[in-house]
Amino acid sequence: MKKILLIICCIFMLQPAYSQLFSRKKVLNDASGGKGQIDNNILTWGYFLGFNSYDFKFTYNTNADAIQLKPSTGFNVGLVGDVKLNNFMNLRLEPGIYFTNRNLEYPESYGLTDRVDQLREIKSSYVHIPLLLKISTKRINNFKPFIVGGFSTSLNLSSNEKNPDDNSNNQFRMKRSTYYYELGFGIDFYLYYFKFTPSIRGVFALNDELVRDTDPNSPWTSNIQKMQSRGIFINFTFQ
């Protein structure tokens, strides 16, 4: 996080930030290669860097003690394709790779007394592909706030879905494909040579992601009716 904040600070230091962002004069952004402001182009491209924090929403079959989850901060990187629909709406495709790590701790009431059996570390590498509708306000000098929403799918490269071993062999398994809906907001900042956009989105899985153990009475999976990912993405986009 500190490194990204340092990069952002450098961007604003290298650019005459006051004249670009805080004066009443609009920056005539020429990032389109000499064809005018970037917002006048029907199709634009860019890339993003960012952070994520994933957790799980559990739905249980009985009123047993809840599984404790300890999320951590992950890293995102990807590309942006943007199609202008009108002056206030854009259709965006943002394929990226998301790395995250989650730790589950099962209570002793599940019949797990060994500390090794109570803990499960879930490392995930997602190829995440969202299709989003971006709805913006009118540009205010060199700012343009917006909201964004849409649907997405991901491919979990670390899912273990095809692994014949299960939790009895210390292998926690998830489904390879997941579907989500997403909601968020952000602000476009217009600089001389590009548009910089910080944004935050909430991501919510629609399907159950758990691959259950072979034993129908498994203490790790038998009480879980649904396990669905939830996440927060903080992305910094450059177009």
Closest CA to 31 of 103, 82, 73: 82
What is the number of domains present in the chain?
A: 1
What SS3 class is residue 9? helix
As given in the structure block, the two tokens for residue 82 are 């943007």
pLDDT for the residue numbered 28: 58
- Residue 201 lies in domain: 2-238
pLDDT tens readout for residues 34-78: 444 778 899 999 999 999 999 999 999 988 889 999 888 999 999
The alpha carbon of residue 36 and the mean position of all alpha carbons in its chain are separated, in whole angstroms, by: 32
pLDDT for the residue numbered 32: 40
pLDDT tens readout for residues 192-235: 888 999 999 999 999 999 999 999 999 999 999 999 999 999 99
What are the φ/ψ torsions at residue 132 (nearest 5 degrees)? -125, 145
Contact 186, 236 (CB under 8 A): no
Contact 98, 126 (CB under 8 A): yes
Q: How far apart are CA 150 and CA 80, in angstroms?
A: 15
**What CATH number is attached to the domain comprising 59?**
2.40.160.20
